Amino acid sequence: MKREQFSSSLGFILAAAGSAVGIGNLVAFPVMASKNGGAAFLVMYAFFVFFICLPVMLAEMSLGRHTRQNPLGAYTEIGQNRAWRTVGWLSVITPFMIGVFYLVITVWIAGYLGKAVFGQLDQLADPAGFGNFITSNELFGYLAFVVVLTFLILQGGVKKGIEKATTVLMPTLFVMLIALVIYVLTLENAMLGVKFFLIPDFTKLTGEVLNGALAQAFFSLSLAMGILITYGSYIQKHDNIVSAGKTVAGLSLMVACCSGLLILPAVFSFNPEIEISELSTSSIGMIFMFLPKIFLALQADIGYFGASFVAAFFFLLVFFAAMTSLVSIIEVPVASVMDGKGISRRKALYLLGSVMVALAIVSALSFGRVDWLSNMLSYGGANKSFFDLIYDMFYETILPLNGLLLCLFVIYRWKKQNLDAEISDGNQRFAGSFLQKYVNFSLGTFIPLILAIIFINTVSTIYF
Ligand code: PHE
């Protein structure tokens, strides 16, 4: 059977940007940046995106386009031995498990959207409310909704599913984001938030912050999850990989910055005092409690309907971003099963979808509802739930390891010349350019080294 393809380079760029732009850019990034040095963080983050992440991105896309395979197939075909095949497996299992974790979070977002639409955000604005919501039965309704939607998109295949969905959702998302930024910037006190987000403080850039920033940049560009290998296997031979990579990286960065200009001014305008202190200790869970508060504060100004409308608009935007990322990560195991077992897309979806949904349900039950799932293991001084285990193991630990192995694989197994030839196809100027030398050198030396340091750092802080 002929492999499916994106219909154009733009289709690929929007799909890859859809994958990159997600909860990480919209929610995690603004908080991280404002806590850790504002513009100083931003500059460093941008540097990481272009000098460390971009080469890895180009490597993944080329590997996919060259082999026309999913990650397992690509590692097997070029690696030619059992060790690389094992790495291939890792590159399929990891997205599958991160997909479970991301599915759970997407379901929360869908829930928030639902609550905003029905004007019930007040139920979520405190720790008890949020805790109740993520362990409620209602959540299963939202799970069903997200699963059906994901299934419908992926069932359509590359062109009629993924590409079609992202070419509608991404431009809509950009427009919505800009509209919200403009609206928020007109509010009273908004400039305080802009200052808080942007005033540089280089003293905040500690080793730990650098470590976190790079891990975040990596996650945010969907690297080391096999996604760009898989999407890369659907692009046409003469598409320009370099400009696609730069565009995706730039879009992802822009969305992250816009989100900073949205969330922080909103915070300051609605409730300067309390919120800053809350923000500085925030984790993902905290942010989920915190966002509804912003919208509730808005009621005082524009009334109940106005506030619900703005809230629904915002959560719809986040929901679109989450859906396009979720779709991309599930496509990896789906493509692997289709290629490997020679079965249809629909069958692969049923097969993987059912295991994934089961694991997502187990995760949902592990937030206090079922005791042994909520306290499965204890390490690093904390009790860990099933959900925490998936997060720690796959997202925190294996992701940098996978990235490291990918760099070594591309440069030392597949070889530089092959990488160069693949990138040059569609971009004649690449051969002999500074970029080419930089990509070759960095991927073979300091990028894997930095990833190794992140890996060791994370392992030592999480598990000990
Ligand atoms: N880029 C996504 C984000 O920022 C991360 C991600 C991509 C997660 C794809 C899962 C799948 O949220």
Residue nearest ligand 1's atom 8 by CA: 325
State the DSSP string of 251-297. Answer: HHHHHHHHHHHHHHHHHHHH-HHHHHHHHTT--HHHHHHHHHHHHHH
Task: Return the axis-axis angle of helices 241-270 and 272-279, rounded to nearest 10°.
Answer: 130
Is 229 in contact with 88 (CB distance < 8 Å)?
Answer: no
pTM more than 0.90? yes
* pLDDT given for residue 286 in this prediction: 62
398 Cβ closer than 6 Å to some ligand 1 atom = no
Ligand 1 pocket, residue 219 CB under 6 Å: yes
pLDDT of residue 126: 73
Please give the pLDDT value at position 299: 82
Atom of ligand 1 nearest to the CA of 102: 10
CA angle 339, 402, 20 (to 5 degrees): 75
Q: Answer whether 329 contacts ligand 1 (Cβ < 6 A).
A: yes
Please give the chain's pLDDT, 464 residues, in tens. 679 999 999 999 999 999 999 999 998 898 888 888 889 999 999 999 999 999 999 999 999 999 999 999 999 999 999 999 999 999 999 999 999 999 999 999 999 999 999 988 888 877 778 888 888 999 999 999 999 999 999 999 999 999 999 999 999 999 999 999 999 999 888 898 898 888 999 999 998 899 889 989 999 999 999 999 999 999 999 999 999 999 999 999 999 999 999 988 888 887 666 555 565 554 566 667 777 877 887 887 788 888 889 999 999 999 999 999 999 999 999 999 999 999 999 999 999 999 999 999 999 999 888 989 999 999 988 899 999 999 999 988 999 999 999 999 999 999 999 999 999 999 999 999 999 999 999 999 999 999 999 999 989 989 98
State whether the Cα torsion 92-97-100-106 is positive or negative.
negative
Distances from the Cα of 391 to the Cαs of 43, 104, 128, 457, in angstroms? 28, 11, 23, 16
Ligand 1 nearest-atom number relative to CA 23: 12
Structure tokens at 68: 């026309």
Please work out whether the CB of residue 230 comes within 6 Å of at least one atom of ligand 1.
no
Distance in angstroms (rounded) separating the CA atoms of residues 100 and 320: 18
pLDDT one-digit tens code per residue, 269-287: 876 665 555 655 545 666 6
Ligand 1 center to 387 CA (angstroms): 17
Between the CA of 27 and the centroid of ligand 1 the distance, in Å, is 11
Q: Is the CB of 25 under 6 A from ligand 1?
A: yes
ipTM field:
0.95
Q: What is the pLDDT of residue 71?
A: 98
In sequence order, the β-bridge partners of residue 377 are 384
Q: Is the CB of 324 under 6 A from ligand 1?
A: no
Predicted local distance difference test score (pLDDT) of residue 202: 93
Each residue of 308-333: pLDDT tens digit?
Answer: 899 999 999 999 999 999 999 999 99
What the chain holds in terms of domains, given with CATH numbers, is 9-463 (1.10.4160)
- Contact partners, residue 38, CB within 8 Å, separation at least 6: 196, 197, 198, 199, 200, 201
Distance CA 14, CA 251 (A): 10
Q: Which residue, by CA, sits nearest to atom 10 of ligand 1?
A: 325
Q: Which residues contact 432 (CB under 8 A, 6 or more apart)?
A: none
Say if CB 331 and CB 339 are below 8 A apart: no
229 Cα: distance to centroid of ligand 1 (angstroms): 15
